[in-house]
Amino acid sequence: MVYYCLWCEQKPKEWFSNWCAECREQKNLNNVYGFDRVLQIMKKCCIRSELQLEKKINNHKESIEEKKNGDDQKDYIKPVLRSDKK
């Protein structure tokens, strides 16, 4: 019988623990830096707000419009190679 990790519920847990290796590492990081601090960082860095989502959608729409208009090609500058310097 396989027992699964109590946190992710997807990977088999290690025989001496209730968590898989990845979840144990996350738990150890929480113990080192503090659960509140890690949660605060995750909310600030990993979760997008409504304003951020709208900006992302608008930027994507603008890039699609630029591709339709043929503006997606930037001015290409050929690099100068050592063999070109004579």
Percent of the chain with pLDDT over 70: 90
Whole-model pTM: value is 0.52
Q: Determine which of 7-11, 24-28, 73-77 has the lowest per-residue pLDDT on average.
A: 73-77
pLDDT at 83 over 90: no
Residue 27 has pLDDT above 80, yes or no: yes
H helical segments located in 14-74: 21-33, 35-46, 50-69
